[in-house]
Amino acid sequence: MSDRILASQARPLARVKSWDLEADVVVVGLGIAGACAAMEAADAGADVLVLERAGAGGGTSANSGGLVYLGGGTPVQKACGFDDTPDEMFAFLAAISEPGADSERIRLFCDESVEHFHWLESKGLTFKRSFYEEPGLESMTDDCLVYTGGENCHPWSGLARPAARGHKPQTVGKAGPFLMQCLLASVDRHPLRSEANVLVETLVVDAAGAVVGCVARRAGRELLVRARRGLVLAAGGFIMNEEMLALHAPTLLRCNVRNGVDGDDGRGIRMGQGAGGDVLRMGLGEVALPSTIPNRLSRGIYLNRHGQRFINEDTYYGHVGIEGLLRQDGKVYLLLDENSYERGLVGLEPRWVAETIAELEREAGFPDGALQATVELYNRHAAQGEDPVFHKRKEMIRPVDTPPFALIDSGTDAAIWATFTIGGLRTDRDARVLTPDGLAISGLYAAGRSAALFCGQGYPGSGISLADASYFGRRAARHAAAQGH
């Protein structure tokens, strides 16, 4: 069996003769989870050491869109006229994350989201007090607030008061690099040590099973690192490990873009397993189907391989992606007409164009009459401004009736499908790693994509991963820093 899927067995303390480095809190990985954990532990007065395998910090966080999911009444939400509360945020996240949601962690995440917003600003991030109208997407301007989880779409709009919660740090264009630039600069201003080009390979456990350090490698030489109060695994997920994907999340292998860096090889998770940690939700991922971009194209109709609709087209593209991948076999088409189609959108070139729906149906090979029936039913209701089947928002409803008609092949064989893993080590409210029996492993914490996200299904919306990683990185650090005091 490949050692890329095996747990990295922890080294017994009895085999450690001496330590090369020591700290109260050792943080493995310097992406957003690691950066926030390190700063929080230092602020709590702990002696902190960060170990990063790459030449510098940043990780996948620095390649991301930079959207951070925050709510409950942040200053940006208030300035933009959104009346959000922790309860409304919880109602949305808990509902969208069922079945199997971790409601205790969701509750904390919502209750402390405004505080977390202020903390991020105190660490050098700024968020412009402005709203960006185009849902689902980070703005290309420096505007901030955006709907990222379909909060204003069916069925969620009926379960919780809709509020935009995607917060983009204030910069023009993609915000991930800027986000990490700000946080890493802030890390440098904290009294802590950080070592690059150090690959952590496994953990060290004492006779009682507590994690007391780790074994790392720097320039080919083994380093033994003692963690006096705790060790935080913030080493990313496993999207770049084909063997782990094949074992745990084979469906995600159908996505042709893997959102990660080399460090996302699952080692953090496997180190946790080697110290007795349990894993959760390993089959789940975020699945982005970018052909819903821009959102105004959702005036068209999504179709499955039978020529039938399967979702309200205006929802978050990650929901379309999960539904399309898991339940529609990755075969997804977008039907547009002369009114809804826009020329020149990269990746959205039609595969078939025809003057009638019947012709398009034949050319694309849908079952006889299927597409015609779908379009007839949709148009009949759309003429009244209604969508009684999937409840698309009124402003997105328009009959698809003006030739020529275009069909974009958005299937996994034809379009870009991007994914990252959201399963990982099972953790509690303080990001302590739990055994299969639900017991916390003393000294061991996990945050970011080394830990399982709190949702039971799919991915709730853009911005959740950076928010979860930064928030639970901080909780891990606070708990670890308080040990032995």
Ligand X SMILES: Cc1cc2nc3c(=O)[nH]c(=O)nc-3n(C[C@H](O)[C@H](O)[C@H](O)COP(=O)(O)OP(=O)(O)OC[C@H]3O[C@@H](n4cnc5c(N)ncnc54)[C@H](O)[C@@H]3O)c2cc1C
| Nearer residue to ligand X within complex by CB, 411 or 423 | 423
DSSP secondary structure of 248-309: H-GGGGG-SEE---TT-SSHHHHHHHHTT--EE-TT-EEEE-GGG-SGGGGGSEEE-TTS--
| Nearer residue to ligand X within complex by CB, 416 or 439 | 416
CB of residue 281 to ligand X, shortest distance in Å: 14
Tally of CB atoms within 10 A around 55: 8
Tokens describing residue 78: 């208030």
| Nearer residue to ligand X within complex by CB, 52 or 387 | 52
CB of residue 9 to ligand X, shortest distance in Å: 15
Q: How far is CA 180 from the centre of its chain?
A: 16
Angle at 257 between CA 329 and CA 409, to 5 degrees: 45
CB of residue 440 to ligand X, shortest distance in Å: 20
| Nearer residue to ligand X within complex by CB, 181 or 379 | 181
CB of residue 462 to ligand X, shortest distance in Å: 5
| Nearer residue to ligand X within complex by CB, 68 or 481 | 68
- Is the peptide bond prior to 99 cis by the omega test (within 30 degrees of 0)? yes
Whether 382 contacts 314, CB under 8 Å: no
CB of residue 44 to ligand X, shortest distance in Å: 19
| Nearer residue to ligand X within complex by CB, 150 or 263 | 263
| Nearer residue to ligand X within complex by CB, 195 or 329 | 195
- From the list 313, 259, 312, the residue with the least C-alpha distance to 286 is 259
| Nearer residue to ligand X within complex by CB, 36 or 42 | 36
Whole-number Cα distances in Å, 284 to 97, 290, 379, 456: 12, 19, 35, 9
- Integer Cα distance of 485 and 482 in angstroms: 6
CB of residue 269 to ligand X, shortest distance in Å: 10
Q: In the β-sheet with 418-421, what is the strand arrangement from edge to edge? A: 257-258, 418-421, 285-288
CB of residue 183 to ligand X, shortest distance in Å: 10
- From the list 137, 152, 124, 150, the residue with the least C-alpha distance to 67 is 137
CB of residue 14 to ligand X, shortest distance in Å: 23
CB of residue 461 to ligand X, shortest distance in Å: 9
Sequence-distant (6+) residues with CB within 8 A of 176 are 61, 62, 63, 64, 65, 66
Q: Can you give the binding site for ligand X, defined by CB under 6 A?
A: 28-34, 51-54, 57-61, 63-67, 138, 199-200, 234-236, 259-261, 263-264, 267-268, 420, 448-449, 462-466, 469
| Nearer residue to ligand X within complex by CB, 169 or 411 | 169
- Integer Cα distance of 194 and 214 in angstroms: 15
Sequence-distant (6+) residues with CB within 8 A of 307 are 361, 364, 366, 367, 370, 371, 373, 374
- DSSP label at residue 427: B
- The runs of H, that is alpha helices, within 97-241 are 103-111, 113-122, 176-188
CB of residue 8 to ligand X, shortest distance in Å: 9
CB of residue 52 to ligand X, shortest distance in Å: 5
Burial class of residue 343 (count of CB atoms within 10 Å of its CB; 0-12, 13-18, 19+) = exposed
Tokens describing residue 142: 């420096």
| Nearer residue to ligand X within complex by CB, 35 or 396 | 35
CB of residue 400 to ligand X, shortest distance in Å: 31
Sequence-distant (6+) residues with CB within 8 A of 315 are 150, 153, 154
Whether 414 contacts 332, CB under 8 Å: no
Q: Is 57 left (phi over 0), alpha (psi -120 to 50) or beta?
A: beta
| Nearer residue to ligand X within complex by CB, 30 or 303 | 30
- Integer Cα distance of 137 and 166 in angstroms: 9
| Nearer residue to ligand X within complex by CB, 360 or 466 | 466
